[in-house]
Structure 1
Amino acid sequence: MLWKISDLVRYASDASPYRFLPRVVLVPEDLDDISAILSYAHGKGREVVFRAAGTSLNGQAQGEDILVDVRRHWTGIEVLDDGARARIRPGTTVLRANTTLARYGRLLGPDPASAIACTVGGVVANNASGMTAGTTRNSYRTLASLTFVLPSGTVVDTADPAADEELVRAEPKLCAGLLALKAEIEADEELTARIRAKYAIKNTNGYRLDAFLDGATPVQILRGLMVGSEGTFGFISETVFDTLPLDRRVTSALLFFPSLTAAAAAVPRFNEAGAIAVEVMDGNTLRASVSVKGVPADWAALPRETAALLVEFRAPDEAGQEAFEEAAAEVMRGLDLVVPAASVTNAFTRDAGTIAGYWKARKAFVTAVGGSRPSGTTLITEDFAVPRTGWPTPARHCWSSSRATASTPPWPVTRPTAICTSCSPSTRRSPPMSSGTTRSCRSSAPSSWTVSTGR
């Protein structure tokens, strides 16, 4: 237990612009500790927030009551079925998990930009998916099973054949309520169709209501609801993932276009050619990226109207890579590309160092844009999703808004979704550490944009 003010202040901030001072920080060692904490909080009406890496950009790892640190005693990965599955504890970083799985030619589906620091528990709890996971490779789709602790202290292992029987015995009202909600949703055809449509694209807004459609039993429903629940339903103590093949043959290109509209027109063509990722970045994002070591210095002079696509193909072997490269060359023949700087090549490459440089610039854009914000402002980052074929329209509107307010607009586009990430400098300074602080902020029009499209 940590209660000294010096300890509490260390936990008052995460990667978001907010600061909240917890009353106490607890460092549990095992499931018994977690169960006791939740049972106590449930009985006393106390609030509990779980924290691992603290890489959240929107304050999910902060709280003003009981903060539970699960980094110290909750790491580890066990490779199963020769790499086809992996049992991973919540404090394990995504990078560590993928490094272990790489020996078996496998990797996790979720691909967050902060993989070097963020943990698997946070990825599942926030349904963080990153730039290539889309709607088919995210946590919801690739989790085989979960072990979690409910607020009452009840432990549920969804892989246990007797899990539903035990849950009904321990939590009868919860089970009855879940099945009643399932029946209510399924009886409403319009609501059912709306839920399916919302989750056909990326959607991390609220609880995953499609869990009521996909799960047949209370345990199956809870397994789905836990993904993206941000710790509000309980603590995820262990995950078992179905892993994916690690396609080692990679071909990438950074292609420059005269405008965002021109770049947008090329996105579906590369998706159809089989690209696993198509990242759209506007000129302001590219210019801000020059602060990242290794990014060409001449990007600093790129025209405001410039946009670029970071396109990547991955294949398991030489034949597959050559087929993708031929498809990419066919798309390239119809593109209107520009060379706004001497460092621009507009060519696909297999060179690992060059490709790593492209992704380093892409993954560092939030840091780069944040570093260039006006003094006294705070960076606010948000995502919104639209069907991939429809994203150019909101892109144009947001671009127009940014020009009208003289702010400086990055964009990821994830098949079949366009995930638009906006970064805005807020005119409100970071709030003081106070129990009365609210999370509302006034912000200007988005200053930077990225769009991700992939599988």
Structure 2
Amino acid sequence: MSINYKLVIDDLRTQLGDHPVTDDPVRRFAWSTDASYFRIVPEVVVHAETLEQVKLTLAVARKHDAPVTFRAAGTSLSGQAIGEGILLILGHDGFRKIEVSSDAKQITLGAAVIGSDANAVLAPLNRKIGPDPATIGSAKIGGIVANNASGMCCGTAQNSYQTIASAKLLFADGTELDTGCEKSKAAFVKSHGKILDALTELSHMTRHNTVLADRIRKKYSIKNTTGYGINSLLDFTDPFDIINHLMVGMEGTLAFINEVTYHTVNEAKFKASAMAVFHNMEDAARAIPLINGESVSAAELLDWPSIKAVTGKPGMPDWLSELPALSAILLIESRADDDKTLDNYTQDVTAKLAG
């Protein structure tokens, strides 16, 4: 059955007013792409500043069976922030909560908080959030969690999956759940007990399927940031813990993320970086096992096309243009809480690469 979007738009305006809702063709076209190369023009765009506006939008979507796509900053390269039907965009002022615990070990963030803003608050406390995507200066927390946006330094140890403490969620049927609140969880048991039972059973089945369990463990032992965090079915037995971690990487398909509480991680006071140049990709790859250890916080490989792409750009060294074809570079970073340790780390890396 086709969807009558005129009725959808009329209902949205009735519920939300005219200002948050637009079906103007030019504005819809403007919101039809994100950082990816895809283009999907939505039928209507809603800018939501409050959770109530999100709830009302989902209620209209349910009534008309219309699809909804959630969008934060739209920095992902894979098209997750565009879609047909209703495009619900986090507003400019809402979902901006930042609250740090007294010991700075946790931080609660609204979905529209930019990652670097969270880190700016934590910086004087020598803490930061775990995930560190390259777009952290513009990416918002809702998208960082929903896309499992990781970075060069957080790897598989400090990403959203490993550092999420709890989340405030809104499901498609309008039900709210705070996985960090016992009262909220008790209410969810009464209203959605069947979902919790199904998750518990699914976890049990996965654990006892040796082939599947081994495959999941192997897949998630590396930096696997695509799709649902189904490793939660093995890592946790409490269904609320499973829900909490399934939110990481679900790309808006399971719930709307209102707030997230992260366990913060240490922010080293001293850092050093190096560009190590190799004749080819093979030599660069062989260097990784040599430098792997506590001396190196992160290493990222630049192949020849990557090198050519940044040659001549502001801030890049002039000698990039002099490298022979098919060269490769390792960007290496060391971190420590004191300068002596950092000096030891850099000497260790330099010695390991000497050959």
| Both proteins in one fold, TM over 0.5 | yes
Q: In the alignment, is the contact (CA less than 8 A) between 1:29 and 1:74 conserved in 2?
A: yes
2: CA distance between counterparts of 1:6 and 1:164?
A: 43
Q: State the match for 1:289 in structure 2.
A: 310
Shift of 1:308: 1.2
Aligned residues: 334
Shift of 1:194: 1.4
* CA displacement, residues 331-376 of structure 1 (integer Å, 9 cap, x when unaligned): 1332xxxxxxxxxxxxxxxxxxxxxxxxxxxxxxxxxxxxxxxxxx
Q: State the match for 2:265 in structure 1.
A: 244
1:54 lines up with 2:54 in the alignment:
no
Shift of 1:273: 5.0
Partner amino acid for 2:340? Answer: A
1:196 lines up with 2:227 in the alignment:
no
2: CA distance between counterparts of 1:254 and 1:156?
A: 46
1: CA distance between counterparts of 2:84 and 2:66?
A: 10
- Structure 2 unaligned regions, length at least 5: 1-20
Shift of 1:195: 1.2
Shift of 1:154: 0.7
Q: State the match for 1:23 in structure 2.
A: 43
Q: Counterpart of 1:198 in 2: which secondary structure? A: helix
Shift of 1:197: 1.3
1: CA distance between counterparts of 2:306 and 2:350?
A: 26
Q: Counterpart of 1:17 in 2: which secondary structure? A: coil
Q: State the match for 1:434 in structure 2.
A: none
Shift of 1:286: 1.4
* CA displacement, residues 30-69 of structure 1 (integer Å, 9 cap, x when unaligned): 2222222223323432111111111111110001101111
2: CA distance between counterparts of 1:296 and 1:330?
A: 24
Q: In the alignment, is the contact (CA less than 8 A) between 2:115 and 2:140 conserved in 1?
A: yes
1: CA distance between counterparts of 2:239 and 2:304?
A: 49
1: CA distance between counterparts of 2:347 and 2:186?
A: 54
Q: How does 1:416-435 map to 2 (within 5 A)?
A: none
1:300 lines up with 2:321 in the alignment:
yes
1: CA distance between counterparts of 2:72 and 2:130?
A: 20
1: CA distance between counterparts of 2:275 and 2:304?
A: 13
1:234 lines up with 2:234 in the alignment:
no
1:213 lines up with 2:205 in the alignment:
no
Q: State the match for 2:3 in structure 1.
A: none
Q: In the alignment, is the contact (CA less than 8 A) between 1:283 and 1:303 conserved in 2?
A: no
Q: 1:78 aligns with which of 96, 99, 116?
A: 99
Q: Counterpart of 1:32 in 2: which secondary structure? A: helix
Q: TM-score, normalised by structure 2?
A: 0.90
2: CA distance between counterparts of 1:40 and 1:71?
A: 19
2: CA distance between counterparts of 1:171 and 1:291?
A: 57
Q: In the alignment, is the contact (CA less than 8 A) between 1:273 and 1:328 conserved in 2?
A: no
Shift of 1:291: 4.3
1:213 and 1:142, CA in 2 relative to 1: closer, same or farther beyond 3 A? same
Q: State the match for 1:185 in structure 2.
A: 206
Partner amino acid for 1:122? Answer: G
Q: Counterpart of 1:146 in 2: which secondary structure? A: strand
Q: State the match for 2:116 in structure 1.
A: 95
Partner amino acid for 2:208? Answer: A
Partner amino acid for 1:30? Answer: T
- Structure 1 unaligned regions, length at least 5: 335-455
Q: In the alignment, is the contact (CA less than 8 A) between 2:297 and 2:334 conserved in 1?
A: yes
Q: In the alignment, is the contact (CA less than 8 A) between 2:296 and 2:333 conserved in 1?
A: yes
Partner amino acid for 1:169? Answer: K
Q: 1:317 aligns with which of 315, 338, 345?
A: 338
Q: 2:290 aligns with which of 252, 269, 279?
A: 269
* CA displacement, residues 161-201 of structure 1 (integer Å, 9 cap, x when unaligned): 23432112122332222222122212212211211111111
2: CA distance between counterparts of 1:296 and 1:43?
A: 58
Q: In the alignment, is the contact (CA less than 8 A) between 1:31 and 1:237 conserved in 2?
A: yes
Q: 1:105 aligns with which of 123, 126, 129?
A: 126
Shift of 1:156: 0.6
Q: In the alignment, is the contact (CA less than 8 A) between 1:93 and 1:115 conserved in 2?
A: yes
Shift of 1:213: 1.8
RMSD across aligned positions (CA): 1.6
Q: 2:274 aligns with which of 253, 260, 284?
A: 253
Q: Counterpart of 2:150 in 1: which secondary structure? A: coil
Q: TM-score, normalised by structure 1?
A: 0.71
1:161 lines up with 2:182 in the alignment:
yes
Q: State the match for 1:448 in structure 2.
A: none
Q: In the alignment, is the contact (CA less than 8 A) between 2:301 and 2:330 conserved in 1?
A: yes
* CA displacement, residues 56-115 of structure 1 (integer Å, 9 cap, x when unaligned): 111100011011111421223112124221111111111111111111111111110111
Bigger RCO of structures 1 and 2 (CA < 8 A, at least 6 apart):
1
Partner amino acid for 2:38? Answer: Y
Q: Counterpart of 2:125 in 1: which secondary structure? A: coil
Shift of 1:230: 0.1
1:172 and 1:40, CA in 2 relative to 1: closer, same or farther beyond 3 A? farther
Partner amino acid for 2:242? Answer: I
2: CA distance between counterparts of 1:218 and 1:332?
A: 47
2: CA distance between counterparts of 1:36 and 1:183?
A: 36
1: CA distance between counterparts of 2:317 and 2:295?
A: 28
Q: Counterpart of 1:102 in 2: which secondary structure? A: helix
1:71 and 1:275, CA in 2 relative to 1: closer, same or farther beyond 3 A? farther
Shift of 1:219: 1.7
Partner amino acid for 2:185? Answer: D
1: CA distance between counterparts of 2:143 and 2:166?
A: 16
Q: Counterpart of 2:221 in 1: which secondary structure? A: coil
Partner amino acid for 1:78? Answer: E
Q: 2:349 aligns with which of 322, 328, 337?
A: 328
Q: State the match for 1:411 in structure 2.
A: none
* Runs of 4+ in structure 1 over 6 Å off: none
Q: State the match for 1:356 in structure 2.
A: none
Q: 1:132 aligns with which of 142, 150, 153?
A: 153
Q: Counterpart of 2:28 in 1: which secondary structure? A: helix
